[in-house]
Structure formats: structure tokens, C-alpha cells
Structure 1
Amino acid sequence: MKTRTLTSALLSSVIAVGLVGTGSQARAEFPEKPVEMTILFGSTAQTIGQLLADLMSKNLPEPVVPVSRAGAGGAVGYQYVNSTDPDGYNIVWNSNSISTGYHGGQMDINYSAFAPIAKVSVEVPAIAVRADSGWDSLTDMAADIKERGTKLKVGASGKGSFTHLTTEAILASQGLSDMAVHVPYDQGRAPVELIAGRLDAAVQWPGQFISHHEAGTLKILCVTSAKRISQLPDIPTCAESGADGMDIAMWRGLAAPAGTPPEVIMSLEAAAKAAAESEEFKEAAKTIGFEIDFADHAAFGDLIARDDAIIAEMMEGIGMKAQ
């Protein structure tokens, strides 16, 4: 009887330990509550980010909830996420804006304040003009402006943004830096203002121009990457259009506050990878106008560091770097 009692007690202890262990493993599964994804900008950045969050939610125990925190060229959102605990429950849909914002003096935190999760996509800025402008290339535009001696009004996102940096690089390549005015328009309004005649040119993401280009109201002069993009195979690069050596592209990806546990980073990376490889995301890339270009957290971290140095040098060269 005594032996049976001890055996029963031992068995009960084993079961209890097993249950506790199972419960601990369940509690350790990430995430246990919704993950907030801060989205820094509107327009295509918001559209892609919201879709990514929805698709990631299908591969995690809890949903990823997109929250718009726009302002100051991304600084508002970056500073918010940086202020949160490094536990993976606050992440940011980030981009090269981490470097343009820092080197432009809009925030005092740089890329090292964040742990990379994954690179997801690439977008290439494009410059467009009205279809009736008479300009077929950057050199056409530059020659006409110089001949007329007027100021070129160019619309792009807010001061210090990536498209503003791209705009200044395009203008510098054509000797138009002193003959142009940057007109900031957020939330994708630059194409609308261009069509209305309040701008002479606009620099934005192709997705904002494609439908207007196809309708014949706008003309996309070129894209800023080294190679033509799949969404616009007939549109030349800006290097082909008169801006020798230009190669500017924006990556987008996910990051968390520095110090986020590696296992949490890996869980989020895996969910992002599954989302990027889904047919729904591939279809969106064609429709919206971006390239899927997934990279894991390690490769993404290397890219961010390299690009930060390049952007700092570029911004200093065209007078946009804070002193």
C-alpha cells in the first residue's frame, strides 16, 4: 500500500512537471498578443505595409496590426518605436528614411537604434511631367528650362524625405539645382498637383504615376535605378535619360528596437518571408508597382549599414546633410 502511494505521488509529480513544462512552452510562444507595425508614410508605403501586416498575421499566433505614425520624414514613427520595449511587440515598416532622417537632422537616432528583421521590397523613384510638356528626357527638360530662364517647380515628399533627396540628385545631375523649387506634397498628392498644372515635374513612386501615364495625362521620363524596372520595361533609366551613373532605389523592410531577442526576430522574419513569397503579395507587386526583394535579418543589416554611408555622402554632396 505504501509503495503504491509513493508511486502514485511520483506519477502525479511527473504529470505536474509535464503540465508545467507544456504551459511554459506555450507561454514562450511569440507573439502572445498583437504586434503593432508602425507605418511611417502614406501612399504606396502604407498600402504595401498594410498588406504585409495582413499576410504576416496568417503565419503568426496573433495578428500584426498596422498603425500609421507619419510625420517629419519618418522621424515621428522611428522615435516612437525606439521608445518602446525591445520585446518584438512594436516593429517599424522602415526604409532608407532612417538614414535620410538622421543625416538630415530630423532625429538624433540612427539605424543602430534598431534590430533588422527582414528586407521585403524595393521601390525605385520615377520622375514624371505632364504629357503636353514637350519633354521626352531629362536633357530635354534641362535644356528648355535653361533656355527660358524660369524656375522648375518639382513636387516630391516633404523636406528631407527620400524622394526629396532623389529630386535634388536629379536636379544636380542636370545643372538645375539653382533653377528649381522643391514643392513638398505628402500623402501622394504630387501627381495630382502635376496634372493640375501647379507643378512642372514630380518625383514619386511609379505606382503613383503608372495609371496616369497609361491614360496619357502624364509622361514618366525615367526611373532612378541602374536598371529598368519590371513594371515599366519601356521607360529608360535616368542614366539613359541624361543623368550619368545614377543608381538610387529605396528598400523597405522591418525592424524592431535594438536588443529584441534573436528568437523573436527569427519568428518575425519567418512570417515576413512567408508573406513575401505568397501569391497575393506577388500580385500586389505587379499592381502597385514595386519589386519583391527579400533578405534575412543579417543580410538586411549589412545593406542598411552600407546604404547609410552612401546616403550620408550623397546628402553632404548636395548640401542636405545637417552640420
Structure 2
Amino acid sequence: MQQQEIKALRNIKVTLLFCLLFYAAVGATQYPQKAIEFVIPFDAGGGADIEGRLLADQMSNVLGVPVVPVNKPGAGGAVAYTYLMNAPADGYVLAWNSTSILTITNLGNVPFTYEEMDHIGRVEFQPLVFAVSINSPWETLESFATDCTTGNQTIRIANSGAGSGTHLGALSLTSAIGCEVVHLPIGTRRRNATVLSGEADGMIAPLTGVINLFKAKRLKILATLSDERNPVIPEIPTASELGFNSFFDLFRGLSVPKGTPQPIINHLAEAMMQAATSETFMSFSEEVGFTVEPMMPTSFQSLLATEDEKVKTILEAAELIMSDGN
């Protein structure tokens, strides 16, 4: 091939690349132009759903287009995250993520890792709590631990689904206590009901999913899995206070398909920040007990890497995944 032809081909490639970047930038500056789908990985009516819908409503106000919640529950979040993975990377589909984005990927419930998505940021974090029916004989976490470690009865602990953050919280707590239980992957819709009916002996759940029944004196909260007491329930001790080193807070944030243009990610992150710190969302957080502490994309990516290692450690201890050294 002649030198002149090679130079011409290079010029064509440079021109094409410039055009692609130009049109991507133009599209990003005009974003958004239509409704945005807001995928919620859990059942309607639960704490995660209520929070997500409120955030979506506040984001609609910021972005000037409808942000439409769509529930896609199932398999501890796998259904929603798989849907997101297959969506166009154009900013019109985003997912209301949680710690489940790390648990299901480490368990192998999906054929991808959290790194195969782009992440907008964290919105909030909240404690997981261990709750039992008001009719339960256990008044303290210590009394539960005594019965659990004797092995004289089968104890059933409900969670939101296999591989969910609540499942990991239950594994963390029972490992710290040194006992074995039957884990019931009930789902968020039935989790509370199974404890109230006696089908399950207790449950791990986000505080937001328990607080109303706790205030109505239908559930007892025996401990939180945070490193300090929550101001909404200051009378409830942490597990670590009682000698059980179980720490597992739940985070929630936003993710989009891999390859979403950076200007769109930045635009969504700014809208997320404004929505999360709105008076409406902040008031709700104070009422139900989660902490609004938004993180932008880079900081959230660092948090995900740290939390991913924590999840791996819990799963390896429970022998649900093999360590890298095996």
C-alpha cells in the first residue's frame, strides 16, 4: 500500500472518531429527552421500594422528565441486574442498587460481576436489624444466642432472598454467635409475615422494613448490625456491644449499563445528589432511620471494592464460595 493511501486511511479513522465523540457529546448535552426507567430489584410495598419511589419522584423534579419506578424482583436482585446488563447504555434505564449487587455476583447467581456495570453513586446506608415476633420468648440477643448454640431446636431465620444483603447479614450474625440456623429466602413481600405468623423464628431486615411493626409493638428488635446505635431506635444495642462482632450495614445507590457516556453519568449523579438531599427525602430518612450520605461515582466505586471484599469474607466463612487460595 502506498504511503499516501495509508495517510488517507488514518485521516478517515480520525474523522470518524471525531464524529462519534461529537455526536455522543451532543446527545449527552440534550439528555434527558424522555422518561427514564427506574428499576427496583424488590417487591412493591417494601422499604426498598418506598425509598426508591420517593427518590425517583425527587429525581423527576430535578431532571424535568418522568423517572418511572418498575419493580423487577427475584433471585435476590439477579432479575433486575440482569435486565440492566441487557439494557441500552443511553441513560434511560437505571437500577436502584443495594448490597445485593455484590452478594449475588459473588455467589455466582449471575454470570457477571459488579464491575461490569457503571455506577452513579451511593444515596444512603442503613442498619440491618435482627427482629423477632413480639410473642417470641427471646427478649435479648444473648438469650437467642444461648438457644441457638445449644442446638436443641431448629431455628429458622427469614431473609429477602438467597444472596441478598439480608441473607449476608444473617450469615454474619450467626457466624459471630457460632451457631447454625435454617435460612429462609422468603422475599421482602412475605418476610415480615412469616415472622409474625411463626413460620420463621426471626429475620434480618433493613430498619426501614421493620420500624412500623416495631412501633406498633408487633415485633421486637434485639440488635442492629451497625458499629453504633441508630438515633431512631437508641434503646436497641448493637450486636458488637453484646460481644458478637457482626457488622453489616446495607447501602443503596444507582447503577446503569456499562458504557453509559460519562456526561450522562455525571448528570445523573448530580440529579441523584439533589434528590437525596431534598427536604422530602431527608425528612423521610429521619423518620425511618437511614442515613443520607451521597457518594459520587469515584467514591462509590472505592466503597464497592471495599464492601466486595467484606462480602467475599462472609461467604467464604460460610463455605458458600471458595477462597482465592483454594
TM-score calculated relative to the size of structure 1:
0.86
* Shift, 1:88, TM fit: 0.9
Corresponding position of 1:310: 310
SS of the residue corresponding to residue 118 of structure 2 reads: strand
Corresponding position of 1:270: 270
Mapped to 1, the partners of 2:256 and 2:309 lie a distance apart of 21
2:157 touches 2:201 (CA, 8 Å); kept in 1? Answer: yes
- Structure 2: 5+ residue runs without aligned partners? 1-24
Q: Deviations over 1:168-222 (max 9, x none)?
A: 2111211212xx2112221342222212222211111112322222232321001
SS of the residue corresponding to residue 125 of structure 1 reads: strand
Corresponding position of 2:38: 37
1:188 touches 1:208 (CA, 8 Å); kept in 2? Answer: no
SS of the residue corresponding to residue 62 of structure 2 reads: coil
Alignment pair present for 1:208 and 2:209: yes
Q: Deviations over 1:204-248 (max 9, x none)?
A: 11123222222323210011011112221111111113312x211
2:89 touches 2:258 (CA, 8 Å); kept in 1? Answer: yes
Matches within 5 A, 1:92-171: 92-147=95-150, 149-171=152-174
Corresponding position of 1:176: 179
Mapped to 1, the partners of 2:172 and 2:96 lie a distance apart of 25
Pick one of 74, 89, 113 that aligns with 1:71: 74
Distance 1:82 1:284, change over 3 A: same
* Shift, 1:283, TM fit: 1.3
Point out the structure with max Rg over C-alpha.
1
**Counterpart residue type for residue 34 of structure 1:** A
Tell which deviates more after alignment, 25-34 or 183-192.
Answer: 25-34
Tell which deviates more after alignment, 218-227 or 24-33.
Answer: 24-33
Corresponding position of 2:91: 88
Mapped to 1, the partners of 2:81 and 2:191 lie a distance apart of 24
1:221 touches 1:241 (CA, 8 Å); kept in 2? Answer: no
Pick one of 55, 59, 82 that aligns with 1:52: 55
* Shift, 1:72, TM fit: 1.1
Mapped to 1, the partners of 2:29 and 2:160 lie a distance apart of 42
Number of residue pairs matched? 297
SS of the residue corresponding to residue 307 of structure 1 reads: helix
Mapped to 1, the partners of 2:219 and 2:33 lie a distance apart of 48
**Counterpart residue type for residue 249 of structure 1:** D
Query: Runs of 4 or more off by more than 6 Å in structure 1?
Result: 24-27
- Structure 1: 5+ residue runs without aligned partners? 1-23
* Shift, 1:38, TM fit: 1.0
TM-score calculated relative to the size of structure 2:
0.86
Corresponding position of 2:13: none
Distance 1:175 1:70, change over 3 A: same
Alignment pair present for 1:186 and 2:196: no
SS of the residue corresponding to residue 189 of structure 1 reads: helix
Provide the alpha-carbon RMSD of the alignment.
Answer: 1.9
